[in-house]
Amino acid sequence: MSFREGTFLDVNRSLPFNLALTLLFAFVSIIGQAQSSDEQSLGDLARTQRQKSSGSKVIDEDEMARRGLARTSANAAFDCNADCKLHAKAGTSYGNGEFRNATEQQWQDAFAAAVSDLEQGDWSQRLSEIREELCRTPGDVDSKKLNLLEDEMYTKLRHETRSKNIDDAAAARPNTPAGAEALRQLRVERMKQAIIDGKVELIQQSCAPSAKVPAK
């Protein structure tokens, strides 16, 4: 056998091997591309989910901010003007109440602290609902709904006072530091009720039906 014939036979023998190797490489390449495509699809899906989640988070945060601003605006709207202050003064002038022997400065301090507390809640909104009910049809008020609104408001006020666990016994001994602090807290809570009472009374006056003017 000549060298050329031997080489030809070797080449012929190696053809199946080379073909198989080529097919193997092609198969591996296809698998790799498919895997890359799958990974890309999964990556796109993950990015889409992240974007959706991110979008939802932004919406939630914006909504919470909006609500927070609304609450802040509602809280800041609470006030007790000169007329309201006069009613609060009358409501805390009982001889045997928490303000017995209170100085004018102590009264003013309790008033400022009470207004500050009332600014933190939804009292302005509750009073607005009462005003709306009273003024909708002056002289023909839905007493059941009005009583429900007032009961809910005063119930909340009582619950807030009880939740502070003020030591009434200590307040009876105002000459001690603990007693003085307990009495101060009681005065603030009593002032809050006097302010609410005054606001409700002023609303009733402003929404009362006008007196009819006699025809000439």
Residue 137: per-residue pLDDT: 81
Q: How confident is the model at residue 104 (pLDDT cuts 50, 70, 90)?
A: very high
List all residues 6 or more positions away from 24 whose beta carbon is below 8 Å from its beta carbon. Answer: none
Instruction: Please state, in angstroms and rounded to a whole number, the distance separating the CA atoms of residues 129 and 180.
Output: 37
Query: pLDDT tens, 128-143?
Result: 999 999 998 877 888 8
Alpha carbon distances (Å) from 66 to 72, 74, 118, 125, 163:
10, 12, 21, 17, 30
Residue 32: per-residue pLDDT: 56
The two three-digit tokens of residue 130, written as one number: 């009462």
Q: Indicate the domain borders of the chain.
A: 1-76, 82-206
Model-level pTM?
Answer: 0.62
How many C-alpha atoms does 146 have within 13 Å on its Cβ side?
17
